[in-house]
Chains A and B, each alone.
Chain A
Amino acid sequence: MINEGNIIKIAGPVIVADGMRGTQMYEVVRVGEAKLIGEIIELEGDTATIQVYEETAGVKPGEKVESTGGPLSVELGPGVMGSIFDGIQRPLEVIKGISGDYIARGIDVDSIDKEKKWTFEPIAKVGDKVVGGDVLGQVQETSAVLQKIMVPPMIEGTIKSIAAKAEYTVLETIAEIETDEGIKEVQMLQKWPVRKGRPYKEKLDPDIPLITGQRAQDTFFCLAKGGAAAIPGPFGSGKTVTQQQLAKWADADIVVYIGCGERGNEMTEVLTEFPFLTDPKTGNPIMDRTVLIANTSNMPVAAREACVYTGITIAEYFRDQGYDVALMADSTSRWAEAMREISGRLEEMPGEEGYPAYLASRLAQFYERAGRVITLGQDPKESSVTVVGAVSPPGGDLSEPVTQNTLRICKVFWALDASLADKRHFPSINWLQSYSLYVESITNWWQENASEEWRANRDQAMVLLQKESELEEIVQLVGPDALPDSEQVVLETTRMLREDFLQQNAYDDVDTYCSPAKQAGMLATILKFHEAASAAVERGADVKEIAALTVKEDIARMKYVPEDEFEARVKEIQEKVVTQCAEV
C-alpha cells in the first residue's frame, strides 16, 4: 500500500510527517519535492518520524512524504563487485555521471546496472528439486569472482525451466520454480532488507586463522575466520593503514570495506590504489574482489547509520555463495555517533555520554552477524564473514562506551598505541594490552601449516616481552648496566622482537606481506639467538660482546628478504647465530 503524508516538522536529518498511518517501521519513504530518501524510525498514531539520508535544507512543512512499501534493502547480484557505493548502496560513479563532482540531493539511481548483460551458465537442471541457497547457475563477474546465482531463501520446489547459457540482464527470469504456492520466477537480482541477517544453516566454531600477512596480528593476536576484531586507537595511531593492510592482504575471497564517516581523501586513496594492487594468491587486481562503501564524514549522517548494515548484508550474500568474506568497518565510532546524533534529534532519553540506551544491543547485533557458517541449500558449504571494526575513542580514552561495548563482544583486541606510533613503531599494536581469544582454537592450524614449534615460540616471545616491561621499570631507576647479564640478554632479544619482528613496514614492497612460514622462521631465529646468547652468558661471556655481534644486523634485515630466498637465508642466519654466539 502506498501512503502519502505531510511534513509537519523539520530538525536537521530528522523530520516528522502526519497522515502516515499504515506505513511500517523502517519503511523507505521519499521526502518532499526534492524526493529525498528517508526511513521511518518511529510511528505514533498518524505521525511518523523519519530519518532522511540527504541534506534537508530547504524542505518545508506541508510538503509530501510518499511511502515506497518496503524496508531499506540492498540489491544483490552480478554488478556488485568492484563497485563503490554510498551508505544506501547508490553507486558513486553513476551519481558522478548525473550530478558531477558534488553529490546533489534526491538522486534516484539503480544500485546495480539493470541493463548490463551477464553470461549466465546454468548448473541446475529442469526437474531438480531445490531449496533456498541451492545454486542455479553462475556468472563470471570479475576475473576474481565467480558469482553463484542462488535460489532465494524461503523458496522451495522443482525447477520447471532454466535459462540456457547466454547473456541476460539481472532482471530477466533465469529460472521458474514450481512451489506449493505456485510458480515462482527467479532472476539474478535479489533484494534483501539490510537490517535483517541472511539465514544460514548452522554456525561453526572459528578454528581457521584469517592470515593477514601482518606479523603482529598473525603470530601474536590472531583472528579466526568468522571472528570479530576491534581496533581501537586514538587518531594518528595508524588505524587506517592497519585496516587497509588487512583489506589488501587478508586471505579472504571477498573484501567489503566500509568507510563510515571517515575522510574523503582516504577513500580516494583506496579507490586509486586498489585497482593497481594485485592479489598475492591469484595475481588478479584486488579491486576485482572488493566492494567499497564510502560514506565520508561530510555525507549525510543518517546514511552513515545505514552504511554498516548495507555492508554486512552484501558480505552475507557472498558468504552464502560459499566464500570467505572479510569486512572492515572504519570506523564504528562514527556509526555510533550517527546513532547518537539521530537519537538526540528524536529527543530520546540519553544513556552514557549521550549515546542512546540501545547502543550496546545495536553493536552486539552487528558483530553477531559475523561468523563461520554452514550455508543453506542441499549442498552446504562452509564459509565465513569476518568483521574487523575500527573504533575511534575520543581522546584515546578506552573507557568510553563504544570501545567498552565493543570489547564485550569481540574476541580479538588490537590496541593501537599512540606512544608507539610516535616512535614510528608500526603497526602500533601494543603487545601488552592486545589479546586474542582464538589462540587456542587455531594452534592446530599453525602447527600443521607453518611450524611445529609455533605455539611454544609464540608463548615464549610473549613471556619475554612481558618480562621486558618489568625490567624496563628497573632500568628507569638504576640504568641497564645494573641488571644481571642474563636479564640484559632478555632486553637484547626483546629489542629484536620489537624492532625486527613486530615492526612491519606497510610501504616496503617486501615487508608489507609476510607469509606464515616466514613469520615462523623469523620468530624461531630470534628465539634461537636468545637461546644461544643466554647459553653464552651462562658460560661467562660478556654481554657487551654479544650486543656487538654482526649477526644482529642480519636479523634486522631479515624482514626485507623476499619470500623465495627466505628459506635458504634464514638457515644461514641461524647457523651464524650459533657460531657467533659460540665464539664469544
Chain B
Amino acid sequence: MNADIKTREYTTVSEVSGPLMVVEGVEGVAYNEIVEIEAPTGEHRRGQVLEVKDDVAVVQVFEGTTDLNTLNTKVRFTGETAKIGVSKDMMGRIFDGTGKPIDGGPEIIPEKELDINGNPMNPASREFPAEFIQTGISTIDGMNTLVRGQKLPIFSGSGLPHNDLAAQIARQAKVVGSDDDFAVIFAAMGITHEEANFFMRDFERTGALEKVTVFMNLADDPAIERILTPKMALTTAEYMAFELGMHVLVILTDLSNYCEALREISAARDEVPGRRGYPGYMYTDLAGIYERAGRIAGKEGSITQMPILVMPQDDITHPIPDLTGYITEGQIVLSRDIHRKGIYPPVDVLPSLSRLMSGGIGDDKTRDDHSGVSDQLYSAYAEGRNLRDLVAVVGEDALTERDQSFLAFAQAFEDEFITQAKDEDRSIVETLDLGWKLLTILPKTELKRVKDEFIEKYYPE
C-alpha cells in the first residue's frame, strides 16, 4: 500500500470521473471528511468524501478535476468535516465560494471554527417569528409581509429585475421603531461577473458595504464549489446572529445554480434520479439550507433569508421552485406579464404569499386594519384580473357597473400600488393609506373583508 498512515496521504487514485475521484486502499476515512488534493501540476485543491466502502473512498473535488490523474495525484485526508473559521471581522469582507478572502485583505483570524453543515435547530428552542420588517415595498409590506426569522424566496424568471428588487430590499429593510440595522450576508452561487458587479456597486454606492459579508462563487468558478457556498454563508450567519446577537439578512442567489450542481454530482455518482434528473434527496438538502433561518428563544439575533431563484421557463411547478415553496414560508413571485407592462417591481401578488404575515402585523406591529385591507386588496385585484378575461370576449360595456369598478380597481392597483421607484421607500402607513385610497374605487358595500369599525375609521372621505 502506497500510503503514509501518519499524514494519511495517498496516491492511490483509481478513477476520475466528472467531479468525482475514487481513492483506493485508504484507512480510517470518515464520511463527509475534507480532503486536500495535490494535482500533478502542484496545484492544491479541496474535496469531500461522499461515500466510503471498506478501503475505497469516493471524493467530490470542489475546484474541478481537470489535470488530475490516476498516477501521481496526492490525496491527503484531513480527518475533519468541512469547517469555516468565523469572526466579527468578516463584516465588510469578500470571500470566494469556499470561504477564502478574495478582496486582497488579510486572512481572517477566526474566533471559532464551525462545522458548515451545522446541526438542526431544535423546534422546541425556536421562537416564532413575529417582528415586522419594513422593506419599503408596498406589495411586500402590505400584502406579503416579511418578518424577522422568516425565509421568503423571490421566484423570478430570466430577464426579470430580481436583482434590483433584492438590492432594494437589502438597502431598505428595517424594523420599525428600532435602531438595529441588518447585517447582510450575500452569497452568490454561479452568477455572472456582471451581476456580481451590480450588487457590489450598489452596496458601495449606498455605503452598505461595511455591513455586508460577501461569499462569491461566480459562473466560471467550479460548479461543485457551489455546494459549499450557502453553507459557508449560513454558518457565518448563525455565528453573527446567535453568538454576536445581530439581526442578519441572508440573500442567496441563485438557488437554481446550486440545484444544478447537486444534480451534476448525483449524475456523476450514478444515483437513481428523481424528477427531471434531480436527486431524490434534493428536498432534504434544500431544507438543510432554508431551515437555518429563524429565531431562538432567549437569544437576541435572528436570521432572515431571502433566496432568489430563477424558474426555468417561468415554470413554478419545476422541481426547484416547487420543493423550495414547500419549505420556505411563502414566496414573492415576479411576473413576466407585469414586467412587460413596464411595471417595477413586477410582483404578482396573486401567487405570492407570506405564511408568517399574520403574526407580524396588526395593532401593535403595523396597524389594526392591515389584515383586512390586505385581504380586500387581494380579492378585489383577483376579481378584476378575472374580469379582464371576460372583457376580452364580451367587451367592457357588457359588464355591470359593479364589475366595471373592479376592472378600474385592478388597473389602478397596478399603476399606483405595485408600481414604485427603485429608490422609493414607502412606510407601512403610506402603503395602507394608498390601499384605502384605491378601495374607494369599489362600491362601499363590496368591502366585505374589512371589519365595519375599520371602514369607519380609515375610509377616506
Measuring CB to CB, which residues of chain A are less than 8 angstroms from any residue of chain B? 8-12, 16, 55-62, 84, 92-93, 95-96, 99-105, 235-236, 240, 259, 261, 263-269, 271-272, 294, 296-301, 334, 337, 340-341, 344, 347, 350, 353-354, 392, 394-397, 418, 422-424, 475-481, 499, 507, 553, 556
Contacts and interface: CB of A to CB of B under 8 A. Distances in A.
A269 B150 CA distance: 13
A394 B123 contact: no
A31 to B, nearest CB: 11
Interface stretch (B15-23, B113-121, B178-186): B113-121
A338 to B, nearest CB: 8
B55 to A, nearest CB: 8
B149 A265 contact: yes
Nearest to A339: B280
A275 to B, nearest CB: 12
A266 B329 CA distance: 9
Q: Which 4 pairs across A and B sit closest by C-beta, in order of nearness? A: A395-B317, A297-B287, A57-B32, A298-B291
B325 to A, nearest CB: 4
Interface string B281-323: 1011001101110101001000000000000000011110011
Q: Which of A267, A297, A418, A475 has the most CB of B within 10 A?
A: A297
B252 interface: no
Interface string B4-47: 00000000000000000000000011111100000000000000
Interface stretch (B84-92, B371-379, B408-416): B371-379
A267 B128 CA distance: 9
A267 B123 contact: yes
Contact of A298 (B50, B52, B120, B274): B120
A269 B284 contact: no
Given A101-B125, A266-B355, 19 more contacts: A8-B54, A9-B51, A10-B53, A92-B122, A99-B122, A102-B122, A235-B325, A272-B128, A301-B281, A347-B272, A353-B274, A354-B273, A395-B318, A424-B382, A476-B390, A479-B390, A481-B398, A507-B358, A507-B371
A92 B283 contact: no
Given A265-B149, A337-B280, A479 B394 contact: yes
Contacts of B317: 394-397
18 contacts: A12-B281, A56-B31, A60-B52, A99-B122, A101-B296, A103-B122, A105-B119, A235-B322, A271-B123, A272-B127, A296-B123, A337-B280, A337-B284, A395-B322, A397-B317, A475-B390, A476-B393, A479-B398
A236 B327 CA distance: 11
Given A298-B288, A476-B393, A507-B371, A96 B329 contact: no
B283 A261 contact: yes
Contacts of B81: 57-58
B31 A57 contact: yes
Contacts of A423: 378-379, 382-383
B453 to A, nearest CB: 12
A298 B279 CA distance: 16
Interface of B: 28-33, 50-55, 81, 115, 117-129, 149-150, 242, 271-275, 279-281, 283-284, 287-288, 290-292, 294, 296, 299, 316-319, 322-323, 325-327, 329-331, 350-351, 353, 355-356, 358-359, 371, 375, 378-379, 382-383, 389-390, 393-394, 398-400, 445, 448-449
B399 A354 contact: no
Given A296-B123, A553-B445, A422 B351 contact: yes
Given A265-B126, A422-B382, A477-B393, A58 B31 contact: yes
A424 B144 CA distance: 13
Contacts of B399: 479
A8 B292 CA distance: 32
A499 B126 contact: no
Contacts of A92: 122-124
B120 A84 contact: no
Contacts of B353: 236
A510 B288 CA distance: 39
Nearest to A354: B274
A101 B122 contact: yes
A32 to B, nearest CB: 9
A397 B351 CA distance: 17
Contact of B284 (A61, A84, A95, A341): A341
Contacts of B290: 297-298
A93 B350 CA distance: 39
A418 to B, nearest CB: 8
B107 to A, nearest CB: 26
Nearest to B326: A235
A265 B356 contact: yes
Nearest to A418: B351
B284 A344 contact: no
Contacts of A61: 28-29, 52-55
Contacts of B379: 423-424
Given A236-B351, A236-B353, A296-B120, A263 B291 contact: yes
A300 B119 CA distance: 10
A394 B274 CA distance: 12
Contacts of A10: 31, 51-53
B28 A60 contact: yes
Contact of B119 (A16, A58, A102, A392): A102
Nearest to A9: B53
B386 to A, nearest CB: 8
A244 to B, nearest CB: 12
B194 to A, nearest CB: 32
A255 to B, nearest CB: 17
B165 to A, nearest CB: 20
B121 A101 contact: yes
A378 B448 CA distance: 57
A344 B272 contact: yes
Contacts of A263: 291, 327, 329
B117 A57 contact: yes
Contacts of B445: 553
A45 to B, nearest CB: 16
Contacts of B319: 394-395
A60 B378 contact: no
A307 B375 CA distance: 36
Contacts of A297: 283-284, 287, 290-291, 327
Given A10-B52, A268-B127, A341 B281 contact: yes
A256 to B, nearest CB: 16
Contact of B123 (A8, A16, A294, A556): A294
A101 B294 CA distance: 12
Contact of B242 (A101, A341, A395): A101
A350 B272 contact: yes
A539 to B, nearest CB: 23
A354 B126 contact: no
Contacts of A12: 281
A240 to B, nearest CB: 8
Contact of A84 (B124, B359, B448): B124
Contacts of B126: 264-265, 267-268
A394 B315 CA distance: 12
B121 A264 contact: yes
Contacts of B327: 263, 297
Contact of B150 (A16, A103, A265, A418): A265
A299 B120 contact: yes
B333 to A, nearest CB: 10
Contact of B29 (A60, A102, A105): A60
Contacts of A104: 119
Contacts of B284: 261, 297-298, 301, 337, 341
Q: Which of B53, B274, B280, B398 has the most CB of A within 10 A?
A: B280
A405 to B, nearest CB: 17
A96 B55 CA distance: 37
